[in-house]
Each structure stands twice: as C-alpha cells, then as structure tokens.
Amino acid sequence: MAVPKFRTSKARTRRRRSVNMKLTVPTIVQCGNCGNPVLLHRVCPKCGFYRGKQIFSPESK
C-alpha cells in the first residue's frame, strides 16, 4: 500500500490551505442622493433612497 514518505511540513499545509482563506473587500459606493457610503445594491440607511427613489423615510427607523 502507498504510504507517505515524508510528513507534510506546517508551511506546506498552510500554503495549501491559504488559497481558500482570502478575504474579500465589500464593494462600497456613494449614495446617489446624500453621498453616504453604502454597500452595493442596498438601500441607503441614512436617507432611505435607492435608485433615485425614496424607499423609506429615515426618521421612521
């Protein structure tokens, strides 16, 4: 039966695993109405606008 000849070093293990450990930076854009930084495809929590429309009034939140 095939058996490993050498133990895998910490470095090798970590190098292999690190491929899937990358963190991604969320895309942040400026609100078209008030300039507040917002996540893409989200309603602006500050002014309640999305794609030029008032979705909710912020004082009710």
Partner 1 sequence: MKHKIGFNKLNRVSAHRKALIKNMMTVLFKHERIETTHAKAVETRRAAEKMITRAKVGSVHNRRIAARKIQDEAVLNKLFTEIGPRFKDRAGGYTRILRIGNRAQDAADMVILELVDQKVEEKKAERNKRKAEKKAKEAKKAE
Provide the binding-site residues for partner 1, judged by CB under 8 A.
39, 41-43, 45, 50, 53-57
Pick 4 or 26: Cβ nearer partner 1? 26
Number of Cα atoms under 13 Å in the Cβ half of residue 51: 2
Pick 10 or 53: Cβ nearer partner 1: 53
Quick one: 34 or 55, whose CB is closer to partner 1?
55
Confirm if 50 and 44 have CB atoms less than 8 A apart.
Answer: yes
Residue 29 binds Zn ion, judged by CB under 5 A: no
State residue 19 phi and psi, 5-degree precision.
Answer: -55, -40
